[in-house]
Structures are given as C-alpha cells and as structure tokens.
Structure 1
Amino acid sequence: MSNMSGETATLHVDGIPPNTLSQVQTHLQPFHLSLEKLGDISCRLNKSLILGLGKHSHHRAAVKMLPTFVRATPDGTEKGDFLALDLGGTNFRVLHVRVCEDEQQVLKMDSQICSIPQEMMLGPGEQSILIRWTKGFNCSGVEGEDVVKLLKDAVHRRGDYDIGSVAMVNDTVGTMMSCGYRDQSCEIGMIIGTGTNACYMEEMKNVKRVEGEDGRMCINTEWGGFGDDHSLRDILTEFDLTVDNMSINPGVHIFEKMISGMYLGEIVRLVLVRLTEDKVLFQGQMSSALKTPGSFQTKFISEIEEEDAGLENAQNILTQLELKWDPVDVRVVRLVCDTVSSRSARLCGAALATIANRMRTSRGLDHLKTTVGVDGTVYRKHPNFSDELQATVRLLAPLCSLSFLVSEDGSGKGAAMVTAVAQRLALQSRLLDESEGEDDDEEEEEK
C-alpha cells in the first residue's frame, strides 16, 4: 500500500521501468489523497451530518441521517424467540432466531430461503416510510409509505402468525445490533460491500428532527450519498465521472461510487483501458473483454493484491480477459488495483473517523473507546483493506480507540436483536411504572 503524502505514492516499484511508471502515475496521481486532504473531506462530511440531523435542513441534505428510533444497544440480558425477515437483492429469507441470555448467544435456529420472482420485484407493493427502492426493486405503492404498517397488514391478511412487535431495520443497523450482543460497547455499524453505509448512536439533543433531548438514538447515516451536493467534485477523477455517468442513477450516491464493491472493479477497468489506449499496457492491444463494462470484477482486485499468489492471479485474470500481457503489464495492473482500493479504504477511514470524533465531542469525552460492527465483502475479502482503513482512522481520530468486530449474519440476527432490545426496554418501562404506582399508593395510605 502507498503512503498518504499526496505526492507520487511510489517513486519506485519493482519490475516497472521508471519511464513506464511515470506514465502510469500520471493517471493514478488524482487517486492519491494526502492526510491533509482526507482531514478536509472529514470536515465536509461532518457538516453534511449536521445538515441531515437538522429539523429544517434535513430535506436538502445529501447525507440523509435517518432516525431509526432504536434507542439502545443490547446489554446482554435480552432473550426470547423472534421471527426475522430478510429482503435481499435476489432472495427472501425467513429466519427463526433465538436469543439466549445464559450463553450470550444469538442463534439461528432454522431458516427458509425463497427466490424473488421478477414480476414481484416490479409489481405492486402491497405484498413499507420507504424513500427509494434499490437493488432492482421497483414495486408500486410503497415509496413514501410506512413499511412497518404495510408488513403488519400483510401478515394479518395471511392470518397464520400472531406477531407482537415489528422492527424494520437495514443491514447497517442490524450489523451494529448483532455485534452489540457480543460486545456491549459496539455503538457503530458499518457496511463496505456492494454498497456502503454506516450508523451510530447519536445524542438525542442533536437529533433535531425528533422530539426529546434525553438519551441516544441510532442514526442511519446513508453516507453513500455524501457528495451528491457536489461537495466532493474536487477529488473526483475522470474515471469516477465516467462511472457515475454510466450508472443507472447519475449524480446519486457519489461517495458510494468511489469506494464500494459495485464500482471498484469498473474504475480499475477504465484506468486499464486508458493506459492501453496510451500504449502503456499490453502494447496498445485492446481485447473486446476489456472494452466491456463490468468485465473487470471487484473480486479481481482482492485476488490480484494477495501477497503470495497475487501476480499469478493477475496473470490468470488478464488471460481470462483475452489480453496479451508481459511481466511489466502484470505489475502495472497490480499497482492500479492497489491505488484504487487504497483510496477506497482511506475514504472509508476518513468517514468513520468523522463519526468517531463526533461521538467523542458530543459526549464531552477526552477519549472515546467504542467498537465498530462491520460487514461487507470488500472489508472481509480484500487482503489489505481493513488495515489501511484502521490506520487512517487512527491518524484522523487520535483521541478515539476503535475496535472492529466482523458481523455474523447481521441482517437476520440484527433485526431480531432490535426487537429484543425494544421488548426489554418496554418491560423495564412497565416495571418502572408499576413501581411508581405502588409508591403512590403507599404515600396515600400514609396520609
């Protein structure tokens, strides 16, 4: 991995002649972000977070900062059996989840997976308030509606389950909550996979959109939209602009398009195409495969950057793409992959540092110690991503100590944990009310 000086990241790379390296770096230079620039980006994100939390400004904020109404993380005493429904891009899962207080475990007892027919993904949505469909869904009658009520109504129409309380959570909140049962200091959830997002426990006094000043609430940042207000235009490369223009949603989710798994491979492909056109790679010989959008998969980046087998993997991948390569080509491709993935990790690290710094200052702490529940294929599979991200956080949030806990099935178990925590809080509130009622009765008797 390269440094954060903001200058040419590597003045010397084994196996790449200086003249070739100079030509490559001409195109890669815009991807190198200095520590100062990352700090500046962090400040911009914090301003976006404040806008999103504002009572009168949230509607025009690029970072939506959605209140989840999750008011607490697990304390380890939760227990019970829960039904969790997980709606993904291609499958719908129904899970029976058991939360065991004695063993401090969240167990998936059994599950059933159903594929989602295309006609259902595009049909009427009466089968949840939804802002925007993603992942190929476009069901009518759902956007702008209360999805929890729609789900309750649908279950009631079937008549085969009597569901007490229903919680609707996204995978980021689910990740935080599932990890929170294993580690009660977990107050941040982060996803870096096909897409990217984060949530965290914000002070209620800062959540101007919701009544109340006491306690905390989990905020789903939707940080993938950072930059949709053009606040990141100075760091967008020509390749980022092409990816955005070619996407199904131009101008939307700019931050996500710079760093997530859906787009990283395509950014690399576009750089390789440009280097081939400039006759820096493959003797200027382009293959039809390399010309095809989406042909360079994001998983190729992880495989090419493996420490031991990376160069051999690169050779196999380039052969698969019908390219005639030599040893220098292979090393240049690896350098391009390293550069693009490094920027992704650093931008994620800068965003996470923003949240950590915000939590520390909002709570008036000299030092914050917390845990981040994390999931996503980019974080899990890339050999260097997590190390680079964590190094960036340490540099940009030096007064925060963050531990990282990889989630296990955050989507299903996390939804169960949200309901379990809500059930615990409701029981505690009821017991408190009963206790206060008894105290009032005693006072009346004394009078």
Structure 2
Amino acid sequence: MGRVGFGVAVGCAVVSCAIAAALAWRRARGRGRWRRAAEVVREFEEGCATPVARLRQVVDAMVVEMHAGLASDGGSKLKMLLTFVDSLPDGTEEGTYYALDLGGTNFRVLRVQLGGKGSLILNHQVERQPIPHELMTSSSENLFDFIALTLKRFVEKEDGSQHHSDDERALGFTFSFPVRQTSVASGVLIKWTKGFSIEDTVGKDVAQCLEEAMTKRGLNMRVAALVNDTVGTLALGHYYDEDAVAAVVIGTGSNACYVERTDAIIKCQGLTNSGSMVVNMEWGNFWSSHLPRTSYDIALDDESPNPNDQGFEKMISGMYLGDVARRVLQRMAQESDIFGDTPQNLNVPFSLRTPLMAAMHTDDSADLREVKTILQEYLHISDVPLKTRRLVVKVCDIITRRAARLAAAGIVSILKKIGRDGRTKGKPRRTVVAIEGPLYSSYAIFRDYLNETLVELLSEEVAQNVILKVCEDGSGLGAALLAAAHSVDR
C-alpha cells in the first residue's frame, strides 16, 4: 500500500473512531438523562407512599380532629359546621318544590315534582342563568333582585295556572360560600369567594336577603332549607336509600358531611332537641403530619391564593392534581433535559388540568397516542419517545393513587367516628355513602384505587357492607328534597 493509501486508511479509521466515540457519548448522555428523570419519578413515588399503616395514622388523626371540632369552634382544623338539618328526605315527600343553586358565576333554578312513596321524583326542570359581571361587585340588593326576578320568570313559565298565587312555595337554597348557619333555613355570610365582592352582604342572613327580594318581586316563596352541595348530596342519597349516613364530594374541590348524634356535638348543646344532625366537616382543610406531602405539594401551596389552607383538598381534588403532575414534569425537564429545552408551558401554573392528566393516565393504546397528543398540543412538547411517555403515565398514576387512597382514609374516618368501621361487636351494618364528583364517577382508575383501599382498611367482610352510591346533582335536586323534608306543608 502506498503512502497516500495508508494515509487515507488512517484518516478513515480516525473518523470512524471519532464517530463511534460521539455516538457512545451521545448514548451515555441519553442514558444519564433518562436515569436522572427516572430518579425524579422514583423520589416522588417514595414521597407519595401511602402504606396501610400510614393511612391508619391519617384515619386516627382525622377522627381526633373531628372530636375537637365538635367540641368547640376554632378547636380544630376541621370546622365541623352545624347545619341544623335534623331530618333527611326518605321518599315519602310529595308535591312541587324549588331549588336555587348559587355557587359561582352562574346559578341554576329547578322545579321538582315529587310523587310520594313509590313514585319518587316524577320530573324536574332546570334553567341556568349567568350572573352579569357587574352584579358580582355591585350591591346585595341588586344581586338578589336579579336572582329573584329570574326565579319569578321561571316559576311563571313552569307553573302556568297550576299553582294558586296565594299558596306559598318552598325553596331549597344551595349557597356555596362560607356561611355561619343559624338554623336550617338561615345563615350569615362570612366572606365572598369565587370573584364575588359585595361588602354590604357580609354579615347578613343570605336567606333573608333572598326572601326580601322575592317579596319585592311579588313571588310568594320562602327558603325552607339553606344548604351546601355536600349536604344536598347526602339528602339525595338518603331519599333513595335510608341507609345513607354520609356524603363525599370529590370534584374541583372536596368536602364531606355525615349524620352525627347530637349528644356527641358538645358545641350544639341546647340548640336542638333532635337526636341527630348533619355535620358539614369542611374536610378540605384537614391537616396532619402523617399526610404524605412532597416538595411539589409545598410549592403548590406556597404559590396558591390560600397558603397553609385546604391542605387535604390540595392533595385529593380535581383543582390541583393536574398541577402537581405539571410540577413533577417540570422538575424532570429541568434536571434531565428529557424533553429537550424546558418547554415554556411547563412553567405556567395549571397549564396541565386534571382532566388532561386523567386522559393520559387512562390511555390504553399500545403507543400511548393520547399522551403524545396532549404533551404536544397543551404543553408544546414534541417528539417524546414511547419510553418517556410511559414515565409520564407513571407520574399520573402516582398522583391519582395517592389522592384516591387518602380520600378512602377520609371516608373510613367518618365510619370510625360513627361506629360503622367494623370495630363494634355483631354483624356489620349496611352503610351507604353518597358520593358526587367526576373524580369518582368518571375516572375509573381513581375509583378502583379508592374502592381497593376501603377493603384494605376495613377488611373484606366490613367493606362489602359499605356501599358508595353515586348521586349526581346534590346541589340542585338535593336542595329541593331538603326543602320538601323541612317544609311545614308536607
């Protein structure tokens, strides 16, 4: 071989070695990025761990807080609010009742016809009405006048000539803002939320405000029950099944209520002569050192409008789960470069909503096409390998599993407090928990995790006597049913 040929051969060898070295370095760098991303997920999974022993500690801690909240106001993270609801609908109610559901920038009015025992709900009509933005910061008189006028038009349209104008109608009023209840049909507004800011309503009885507005509009109607959506869900559950003793809402937010013996409610002694009362737990504000809190949860809480508040809700409700997932993906991007340059949308709070997280989690296609589509369209992350997509699904699973298991622990806390957790001697009693919200009703993986956890905490024998019954529209139908149950015209 000549010198020229030899030189070419050497040159080719050098280039080949360089290419091989570059490829090896790139593969090693890729493996390093992958290892770091996997390590972020592994650490997150460890932080979210909910073994049965830990869940039992959560159960015990919540029961302690329940006792403290029943003893005195301000004595617990759980408010354990008195509702003065001492009788629940049982299916014997008869007649036509109305409901008004005010919980945000829209409100609904309903007309419900009840047929009595054996007939149940004959039919119902619903109308939704947006609230003009200016009324959300106007005056109490203007807001309630608008609501009363809408309600009057609805009544006239639906009733026609079927109802004598002299007959007083009963209304269930679902008012989903902080209220200090003073009776089953009255309560004082503590503060507005959700974009409302009407100062002259704070400290007033909101039921009285509505009744005054209805009277001015010539509408002969009274508030028979002032409730929140969770109590309405329990009412709806009990209407269909008398074994319903508690209700849980797991949607955008989360809360629970249950039927408590009045002799166990120390702070209500002398306020009622009935043997039991529905207690609104406001369990979203529960907190315990036993809850599996991670750095992502802490950051979310610190950056929220209500830091150090609603800690339990921020770990189990639909408002927050998607953003916890976003924060984990953001850390993966920052520390591993697994998504290339950190996508800007990963830095935007709530850019990954819980329904999107659930859609990725439930993607059962072989190549995880839905995961790829959501990452690309909503987070602007393109060309994500299948291996990485599987890691994203793993993050969704960790978050969902923790949320469902903690929600199950909350339910067991209620059962333990009222002696329905199997600790008492004798055959376990059939117990129905009414449940509302898309996390349970529409998210099958969440529902399966929650049901499995109930079995782990209660045992198979006890759990088979605990029925979680989906009850949709407690804030509407449930409110009308409570109006029927607490109407003197029954």
Normalising by structure 1, we get a TM-score of: 0.84
1:250 match: secondary structure: coil
- Would the aligned equivalents of 2:136 and 2:198 in 1 still touch at CA under 8 Å? yes
Q: 2:198 aligns with which of 132, 136, 139?
A: 139
Deviations 1:240-299 (A, max 9, x none): 11111111111111111111111111110001000111116324x211112211110100
- Would the aligned equivalents of 2:70 and 2:266 in 1 still touch at CA under 8 Å? yes
Distance change >3 Å, CA 113–CA 302, structure 1 → 2: same
Q: 2:478 aligns with which of 414, 431, 436?
A: 414
The yes-or-no answer on 1:148 pairing with 2:163 is no
Q: 2:336 aligns with which of 254, 276, 279?
A: 279
Which structure 2 residues correspond to residues 99-114 of structure 1 after superposition, within 5 A?
Answer: 99-114=114-129
The yes-or-no answer on 1:25 pairing with 2:42 is yes
Q: 2:58 aligns with which of 13, 20, 41?
A: 41
Which structure 2 residues correspond to residues 111-130 of structure 1 after superposition, within 5 A?
Answer: 111-126=126-141, 127=144, 129-130=188-189
Counterpart of 1:346 in structure 2 is: 405
Q: 2:317 aligns with which of 260, 265, 273?
A: 260
Query: Matches of 1:232 and 1:222 in 2, distance apart?
Result: 19
Query: Matches of 1:357 and 1:71 in 2, distance apart?
Result: 21
The yes-or-no answer on 1:186 pairing with 2:247 is no
Residue identity matched to 1:418? L
Residue identity matched to 1:147? V
Query: Matches of 2:101 and 2:469 in 1, distance apart?
Result: 21
- Would the aligned equivalents of 1:24 and 1:280 in 2 still touch at CA under 8 Å? no
- Would the aligned equivalents of 2:37 and 2:332 in 1 still touch at CA under 8 Å? no
Counterpart of 2:101 in structure 1 is: 86
The yes-or-no answer on 1:318 pairing with 2:379 is no
Counterpart of 2:416 in structure 1 is: 357
Which structure 2 residues correspond to residues 290-329 of structure 1 after superposition, within 5 A?
Answer: 290-306=346-362, 308-309=364-365, 311-320=368-377, 321-324=379-382, 325-329=384-388
Counterpart of 1:215 in structure 2 is: 275
Q: How far did residue 60 of structure 1 move?
A: 3.5
The yes-or-no answer on 1:226 pairing with 2:286 is yes
Q: How far did residue 309 of structure 1 move?
A: 4.0
- Would the aligned equivalents of 1:205 and 1:213 in 2 still touch at CA under 8 Å? no
2:482 match: secondary structure: helix
Distance change >3 Å, CA 243–CA 85, structure 1 → 2: same
- Would the aligned equivalents of 1:174 and 1:414 in 2 still touch at CA under 8 Å? yes
Q: How far did residue 316 of structure 1 move?
A: 0.6
Q: 1:73 aligns with which of 55, 68, 88?
A: 88
Query: Matches of 1:71 and 1:335 in 2, distance apart?
Result: 45
Query: Matches of 1:280 and 1:340 in 2, distance apart?
Result: 22
Q: How far did residue 145 of structure 1 move?
A: 2.8
Query: Matches of 2:105 and 2:446 in 1, distance apart?
Result: 27
- Would the aligned equivalents of 2:36 and 2:336 in 1 still touch at CA under 8 Å? no
1:166 match: secondary structure: strand
Deviations 1:37-77 (A, max 9, x none): 111011111111111111xx322421111111111222221
Tell me which moved more, 196-205 or 407-416.
Answer: 407-416
- Would the aligned equivalents of 2:246 and 2:256 in 1 still touch at CA under 8 Å? yes
- Would the aligned equivalents of 1:356 and 1:368 in 2 still touch at CA under 8 Å? no
Which structure 2 residues correspond to residues 165-176 of structure 1 after superposition, within 5 A?
Answer: 165-176=223-234
Distance change >3 Å, CA 165–CA 291, structure 1 → 2: closer
Deviations 1:80-116 (A, max 9, x none): 1111101132211111111121544325532222101
- Would the aligned equivalents of 1:95 and 1:108 in 2 still touch at CA under 8 Å? no
2:352 match: secondary structure: coil
Query: Matches of 2:420 and 2:103 in 1, distance apart?
Result: 36
Distance change >3 Å, CA 196–CA 234, structure 1 → 2: closer
- Would the aligned equivalents of 1:224 and 1:253 in 2 still touch at CA under 8 Å? yes
1:294 match: secondary structure: coil
Distance change >3 Å, CA 234–CA 357, structure 1 → 2: closer
- Would the aligned equivalents of 2:91 and 2:118 in 1 still touch at CA under 8 Å? no
Distance change >3 Å, CA 234–CA 406, structure 1 → 2: closer
Distance change >3 Å, CA 361–CA 290, structure 1 → 2: closer
In structure 2, runs of 5+ residues without a counterpart are 1-32, 145-186
Q: 1:337 aligns with which of 396, 401, 404?
A: 396
The yes-or-no answer on 1:288 pairing with 2:367 is no
Equivalent pairs counted in the alignment come to 404
Query: Matches of 1:354 and 1:213 in 2, distance apart?
Result: 26
Q: How far did residue 19 of structure 1 move?
A: 7.4
Residue identity matched to 1:269? R
Distance change >3 Å, CA 73–CA 20, structure 1 → 2: same
Q: 1:396 aligns with which of 436, 454, 457?
A: 457
Normalising by structure 2, we get a TM-score of: 0.77
Counterpart of 1:249 in structure 2 is: 306
Tell me which moved more, 59-68 or 304-313.
Answer: 304-313
Tell me which moved more, 249-258 or 213-222.
Answer: 213-222
2:248 match: secondary structure: strand
1:360 match: secondary structure: coil
Q: How far did residue 137 of structure 1 move?
A: 2.4
- Would the aligned equivalents of 1:357 and 1:397 in 2 still touch at CA under 8 Å? no
1:62 match: secondary structure: coil
Residue identity matched to 1:28? E
- Would the aligned equivalents of 2:63 and 2:416 in 1 still touch at CA under 8 Å? no
- Would the aligned equivalents of 2:58 and 2:290 in 1 still touch at CA under 8 Å? no
Distance change >3 Å, CA 334–CA 361, structure 1 → 2: closer
